[in-house]
Structure 1
Amino acid sequence: MYQERASRLTGAVVWRRTLEDPAVRPARPVLPDGCMDLLWNEGRLLVAGPDTHAYVPGGRPRRWAGVRFRPGTASALLGVPAYELRDQRVELADLWPAARVRRLSARVAAAPDPARALEDIALERAAEAGPPDPLLGRLVTALDAGRPVAATADGLGLGARQLHRRCLSAFGYGPKTLARVLRLQRALALVRAGVPFAESAVRAGYADQPHLAREVRDLAGTTLRELLGRG
């Protein structure tokens, strides 16, 4: 079971999930979305780095809670370049002082709602780190609107190499990969809203439905119908 809500931290999402027995129902893949998460898992605090392909939770049934940060903002809050965490789930104690993480872990474990306790921690860290870089927000907006990477760089007053470096630090990968991830999420949102596959593909910025199908296979490791449970 999965539930989410908007966070008090601007642009973030607070979520909780109970994984069912994988022998009964396999866990659904977590798709690339340009985001990073602060996670709680039965006493452990972890960070989910930026994904470039689908991540499938494994192991025995577990309870999870998390805060999913707005794309491009988690790196500054965590104090580590996003590319160092790409395609990884990392113990928070590997990034922050162990004593601090032990205190935070005990705090979350004692809370009646671990998800809200995580959200409080995220809000406190955001207050320490200061406001996010507005350029990153403009970058995400432009790429999510389907604007070409070169035109986006020009509009932001950045050279191609400078844009690539900024993206690696904030998102974990370059602007072209970020654009692909955001485009996939646009297409999936349209399909889930009932828009036919072919129309969703074109409206999201793909050449056609086969182009969307190839991207789903590459980024999600499955077919569109299987991904949406329509097989």
Structure 2
Amino acid sequence: MGRTARQEAAFLAARAGLYREHAPSPVLEAHFCCLWSHDIHDGPNRRIAIVPDGYCDIVWMGGRLLVAGPDRSGAFPSLASGEKIVGARFAPGAAAEWLKVQLCDIVGQSIPLDDFWGAAALRLNELLGACAHSDERLSQLETALEKEVAKRAAPARDMASVFARASDISPCRNVTDLMLDDLSIGVRQLRRRCYTHFGYGPKTLARIRRFQGMLSLCRSKKALPLAALAVAAGYSDQAHMTRDAREISTLTPMQLQQQIAG
């Protein structure tokens, strides 16, 4: 399938049904940003795009528990209409400890959770599979994660600072320089830690978070002209924004605006 055909067929996952986020319990809030559910409503022929956000998730879908590693570009999984998915999104700096892996080793991959947790993941998968509804499944997942917290070290706090800097779309000097100033470490150490906890270096993380910032602006009530959207999202110009959007999602900023507003 050619590039143009992929762009025409791509459809943001958030638009493919009902997506909801839930705050984690106090026990989990240092380790997870949120728990979430996604009920897929669109037909099976729709090409659904899951765009990168800099996070890593534990996901139950298709009757299996998976680890969805961080992505550099959009993923296009086969999602059947009526599928009910639940997940837990790791907080920045938490996933490497829970999975005992450097995230650069799982970029762009969906890997069975039992590859990391063995029999415990298989038992949890059976438990979730026996649930009748997404809310019950999400509750069981949260309870299982709460039981694991005591075995896990606290998330790397410096990586939360790096993630926050990467997510700041306000005009500023070089984001990597600001990260280095915050942490008082060298460039090589920053890169190593980013590869461990995010899967890629600080510049790629900032690029992905800037793209997510642009999507957030598209969700605001007042639609911005594309040139103004580029400036507000921290791009050098509209062409820069368009190039990044197409490389990350296969969609243009105008297509993204139309889908989010539709």
Q: TM-score of the superposition, structure 1-length normalised?
A: 0.90
Asked if 1:18 corresponds to 2:39, the answer is yes
| Equivalent residues of 2:165, 2:178 under 8 A apart | no
Give the secondary structure class of the aligned counterpart of 1:152: helix
Asked if 1:221 corresponds to 2:238, the answer is no
Give the secondary structure class of the aligned counterpart of 1:207: coil
Amino acid at match of 1:22: P
Hey, what's the Cα distance between the residues in 2 that align with 1:198 and 1:124? 49
Hey, what's the Cα distance between the residues in 2 that align with 1:47 and 1:158? 30
Hey, what's the Cα distance between the residues in 2 that align with 1:188 and 1:12? 19
> What aligned pairs does 1:1-231 form with structure 2 within 5 A after superposition?
1=17, 2-8=19-25, 9-10=28-29, 12-19=33-40, 20-23=42-45, 26-61=46-81, 62-97=83-118, 99-112=119-132, 113-146=136-169, 148-193=175-220, 194-196=222-224, 197-228=226-257, 229=259
Amino acid at match of 1:167: C
Deviation at 1:109, TM superposition (A): 2.2
Deviation at 1:155, TM superposition (A): 2.5
Runs of 4+ in 1 over 4 A off after TM superposition: none
Shift in CA distance, 202/126, structure 1 to aligned 2, threshold 3 Å = farther
Give the secondary structure class of the aligned counterpart of 2:49: coil
| Equivalent residues of 2:191, 2:201 under 8 A apart | yes
Deviations 1:96-152 (A, max 9, x none): 22x222211122223451122222233333332132111111111222225520231
Aligned-residue CA RMSD (Å): 2.0
Hey, what's the Cα distance between the residues in 2 that align with 1:191 and 1:60? 27
Equivalent pairs: percent with the same residue?
A: 35
Give the secondary structure class of the aligned counterpart of 1:149: helix
Deviations 1:73-110 (A, max 9, x none): 2221222111111001111112222x222211122223
Shift in CA distance, 7/28, structure 1 to aligned 2, threshold 3 Å = farther
Hey, what's the Cα distance between the residues in 1 that align with 2:148 and 2:194? 22
Give the secondary structure class of the aligned counterpart of 2:67: strand
Give the secondary structure class of the aligned counterpart of 2:228: helix
Where structure 1 has 5 or more consecutive residues not aligned to the other structure, the ranges are: none
Hey, what's the Cα distance between the residues in 1 that align with 2:199 and 2:50? 17
Give the secondary structure class of the aligned counterpart of 1:71: coil
